[in-house]
Amino acid sequence: MTQHALADYVRILARGKNASRNMTFEEARFTMSEMLAGRYEDVQLGAIFMLLRVLEETPDEIAGFASAVNEYWPEPAGHFDLVWSSYAGKRRQPMWWVLSALLLGQMGHRILVHGTLAHTPGRVYAHEVFQELGLPAATRDSLGTIVAPLVYLPCSEVHPSLQQWLSLKSVLGVRSPINTVLKTIAPAGVPSVQGIFHPDYRTTHSMAAGINQDTAAIIKGEGGEFEVNPERPCQATVVVEGEEAQFRIANDSSHYDDKAASPNAEHLVKLWQGQDHSQYGHDAVLRTAALALCAMLKTTDYVSALSQCSKAWAERDKSLLA
């Protein structure tokens, strides 16, 4: 039989305890390009994902995979000011970050959110919140026709295999590197914000952004989303076209008595309309928006960004979420 084109790339990861190694950027990019083109066997896909899970994916591999996926963005995606990844979902708290993105839209920026369909019981996902709030969701073909400043695009509309591969967690029992990859993708030249759950992945994300010369803001976010938890100090990493800087956002309080106890989107509506004066929600929204603004402006001047967002919040159109 003729050897499959990906056989050598599986072998890189699978030659045993002493001979196996991680892929280079180019090897990872080729591997992902082949898989996205459908030129793979199911057994190869599972082997590559699980072997990388065991070896622990490197920044070069994540950057190479992301570079291949980025070739599939629909052309209108490149005209947004910021790409916002949302893959973790929320279990205990509302998605306060949606109000952060909405606020930035009110400030004149266009935000494209991409994410996954619901896959874990008990969690609420971005597409559900967008639907409940009446915010627009796009398909690959309709993205260019939507003029709203905040739009949701399922990852399956970037490439249909991406959602299928995310769903393999229920088959394999553990997350695969595709979860990390999708948090890092963005059209060429468009900044992104990336929330992580495990602090060890901060370096992987920032180094991958550096390799691809991307601009990104990265934090350990509430529930794994890009959202500041105001009860904890927040270590932010901002990568601007490959150059990394870090700064720390202090917490004013280690406990807020008015913290919401559920992910219900009604909390978002009430805070936006001014019916609910949750200090936790207010601080989460503004601090998250300020960090995202830093990514768009390619700056680490968080204090100035927070001031701009605070002013915009005071002047927001409260009728937007009716």
What digits encode the pLDDT tens for the residues 69-110? 999 999 999 999 999 999 999 999 999 999 999 999 999 999
Structural domains in the chain plus CATH codes: 75-314 (3.40.1030.10)
Q: Say if residues 152 and 111 touch (Cβ distance below 8 Å).
A: no
Task: Kindly state the tokens that stand for 190.
Answer: 């468009």
CA 297/CA 43 separation, integer angstroms = 44
pLDDT confidence tier of residue 166, bands split at 50, 70 and 90: very high
**Is residue 17 over pLDDT 90?**
no
The side-by-side arrangement of strands in the sheet containing 150-154 is 150-154, 111-115, 82-86, 192-196, 216-220, 234-240, 243-249
**Is residue 119 over pLDDT 80?**
no
**Is residue 118 over pLDDT 80?**
no
Element (H, E) at 249: strand 243-249
